Amino acid sequence: KAGVTQTPRYLIKTRGQQVTLSCSPISGHRSVSWYQQTPGQGLQFLFEYFSETQRNKGNFPGRFSGRQFSNSRSEMNVSTLELGDSALYLCASSLTGTGANVLTFGAGSRLTVL
Amino acid sequence: DAKTTQPNSMESNEEEPVHLPCNHSTISGTDYIHWYRQLPSQGPEYVIHGLTSNVNNRMASLAIAEDRKSSTLILHRATLRDAAVYYCILRGMYSGGGADGLTFGKGTHLIIQP
């Protein structure tokens, strides 16, 4: 069974640019959640999508957005990049996102903003 | 904010048992207790989860207090490969608990001495 796949694994952008990251969940999983991880702030929740709808949102500015497609694949976008957006971006998938379901994480996309 | 409280770090010796505590005094009757760990340079991975009864799997044991306000992750015989950050989170039975159910906090940094 394939795991959660995140692409690209590494990318470098400059301030002001935008970036799109992709997450392919485990087959059959309908919930995808996104996280930002930095050394100072730890693992921070960005948003969760279920059946193409954003179901939950963390405390991030509107420059961070996402979407989910009918095949449950998800993308997140960060516009007008800032130096502070440099981080490891992780996604996790679960069957339906309920408490009994386990979260399975991808390896992450490491973004460096110069 | 995370609904759980964990020590920032703990240290243990190789081949000895490790007991990682987690306090969750505001837990509701329908919250699952989940544990994940993150090894260096990897995405978090699932360890164990439970609702009311103690749970065992090949990786660890989860001991849940009778009032459910605290739990302990038990690694029966720590190895150097168990050195990681361990996260305890609460996830609601029906919807995952919203944004709170996806908020990981800083976790416990477990150091294993050879």
Residue A1 pLDDT level (bands cut at 50, 70, 90): low
> What's phi and psi for B82, nearest 5 deg?
-85, -5
**Residue A56: closest C-alpha in chain B:** B99
Residue B105 pLDDT level (bands cut at 50, 70, 90): confident
The answer to whether the CB of B92 falls within 8 A of the CB of B98 is: yes
Nearest by CB to B45, from A44, A105, A108: name it.
A105
Chain B residue numbers with beta carbons less than 8 Å from the beta carbon of A92 are: 43-44
B47 DSSP assignment: E
The mean pLDDT value of chain B amounts to: 93
Q: Residue B63: how many CA atoms within 13 Å on its side-chain side?
A: 10
Is the pLDDT reported for residue B46 higher than 90? yes
pLDDT tens digits along A10-62: 999 999 999 999 999 999 999 999 999 998 788 899 999 999 999 999 999 99
The answer to whether the CB of B86 falls within 8 A of the CB of B34 is: no
pLDDT tens digits along A50-95: 999 999 999 999 999 999 999 999 999 999 999 999 999 999 999 9
- Percent share of chain B, pLDDT over 90: 79
Residue B95 pLDDT level (bands cut at 50, 70, 90): confident
Among the listed residues B77, B20, B42, the one whose alpha carbon sits nearest the alpha carbon of residue A104: B42
Chain B residue numbers with beta carbons less than 8 Å from the beta carbon of A108 are: 43
| Residues of chain A that touch chain B, judged by Cβ-Cβ distance less than 8 Å | 4, 31, 33, 35, 42-45, 48, 55-58, 90, 92, 94, 97-108
Percent of chain A that is helix, strand, coil (3-state, to 5): 5, 55, 45
